[in-house]
Chains A and B, each alone.
Chain A
Amino acid sequence: MHDLGMLTGDNISDAAGINRSGVIIGNSGSFDINDPKTMRSRAVTWVNGKIQALEGIAGEMSTAEAINSAGTILGMRKIREPDGFPFLYQAGKTFDLAKPAGGRSYVAALNDKGQVVGEGDIRKDVSHALLWSGGKVIDLGALPGQKQSSASNINNLGDIVGHSGSEKQHSFLWRNGHMYDLNQLIPRGSGWVLEMATSINDRGQIVGHGTYRGKNGAFLLSPR
């Protein structure tokens, strides 16, 4: 394990993503337990081990959440405000993503086509999994009987995984406009409750966590 360091004067950093070329993104900031209000965070990249804040959004409270193979970075800016701005950062320029009707949104992942997933308020106090594609923000809905959902990742085929439900969560796969409960796609009597799906690769394999015979655990789903 190698220390990537942080920006001068900071005391906290985290690496959130890495692409095929080895470019790493994340955030660097400072946090003082005695004065939490002074907390700050800046979206950063590490290229060949060298840290740099994203230009043009420096000084604002920001984070970088993901990077794709084209080097497009997904982040959030003005995160201290109730509804921060999700953005794409490409070749030194920042592009704000559309906001859902309820204002607040949070972005989690993007694929090599620049499609973004996350969650946001489709109206006041109702948060759904969202897809940003072709300049639009699309409500992915929720599993039957559930009000809340959130998307964690999207692969290069456009398949999306996440979870739906507030108290009892079920992981979902969203494909071609339909949200499937992953619990209905595994063998009956497996002993699993698949609660959250966190990532999907281009082979359709899905990783996440849930409970197996009542105990918490991580799972790996593979297409049969």
Chain B
Amino acid sequence: MNAPIVLVAVISVSVILMPGPEPPESPPLRYSVKNLGATSIGISFGRDINSAGQVVGVAWGPSSYGILYSNGRAMLLRPLAGQDASGVNAINDSGMVVGNSNVRILAGLKRTRACT
């Protein structure tokens, strides 16, 4: 008389042990957010990050300068001698930064020279 009950139990165990469908792709990790900080120049923009976590960005104010954030510090990347602004575009895994140094030729228009 007990046999059917035992059978049910066996079936339910086997269902639990069977591999189910792939779980849906879990949402991405949660993130902590860090403020890269206001600079003395003004508004800052993040631009690129390398595998070591070094970040390059631009600080915008009366003039604009490239910035390198490394080990929690912000370093201004000053333009070439005689020029009044700089910009950065990318950083590689060795920490080499490329961008430009420039002279304003009219409001909003800049003449740039590639720099590293």
- A203-219 at interface with B (beta carbon < 8 Å): 203-209, 212, 215-219
Q: Which residues of B contact A33 (CB under 8 A)?
A: 105-106, 109
Main secondary structure of the interface of A (DSSP, over half): strand
A90 contacts B by Cβ under 8 Å: no
Q: Which residue from B49, B86, B115 sits with its C-beta under 8 Å from A205? A: B49
Give the total number of A-B pairs whose CB atoms are below 8 A apart.
186
Complex Cα–Cα for A123 and B15 (A) = 48
Given contacts A178-B25, A217-B43, contact A26 B31 (CB under 8 A): no
Q: Which residues of A contact B96 (CB under 8 A)?
A: 18, 22
Are B33 and A176 within 8 A (Cβ)? Answer: no
B89 contacts A by Cβ under 8 Å: yes
1/0 contact string of B26-50 vs chain A (CB within 8 Å): 0111111111111000011111111
- A134-186 at interface with B (beta carbon < 8 Å): 153, 173, 175-178, 180, 182, 185-186
Q: Which residues of A contact B29 (CB under 8 A)?
A: 185, 204, 223-224
Q: Which residues of B contact A203 (CB under 8 A)?
A: 51, 53
Are B28 and A1 within 8 A (Cβ)? Answer: no
Complex Cα–Cα for A180 and B31 (A) = 12
Report the nearest B residue to A215, measured CB to CB. B38
- A1-46 at interface with B (beta carbon < 8 Å): 1-6, 11-20, 22, 24, 26, 28, 31, 33, 46
Given contacts A190-B33, A224-B32, contact A22 B109 (CB under 8 A): no
Chain A proximity of B26: nearest CB distance (Å) = 10
Q: Which residue from A3, A14, A22, A180 sits with its C-beta under 8 Å from B28? A: A180
Are A15 and B115 within 8 A (Cβ)? Answer: yes
Given contacts A1-B77, A14-B114, contact A218 B45 (CB under 8 A): yes
Are B100 and A14 within 8 A (Cβ)? Answer: yes
Interface footprint category on A: 35 or more
Complex Cα–Cα for A198 and B43 (A) = 16
Chain B proximity of A26: nearest CB distance (Å) = 5
Pick the most buried of A194, A203, A205, A224: most chain B CB atoms within 10 A of its CB. Answer: A205
Q: Which residues of A contact B30 (CB under 8 A)?
A: 185-187, 223-224
Are A186 and B33 within 8 A (Cβ)? Answer: yes
Q: Which residues of B contact A182 (CB under 8 A)?
A: 31
B84 contacts A by Cβ under 8 Å: no
Q: Which residues of B contact A224 (CB under 8 A)?
A: 29-32
Complex Cα–Cα for A222 and B101 (A) = 30
Question: Can you report 13 residue pairs joining A to B where beta carbons are below 8 Å apart?
Answer: A1-B101, A1-B116, A14-B114, A15-B89, A33-B109, A185-B31, A199-B47, A207-B36, A216-B44, A218-B46, A218-B57, A221-B33, A223-B29
Known: A1-B115, A207-B49, A216-B44. 13 other contacts (CB 8 A): A4-B115, A14-B100, A17-B98, A18-B91, A19-B92, A24-B98, A175-B25, A185-B31, A198-B45, A199-B47, A204-B28, A217-B43, A219-B34
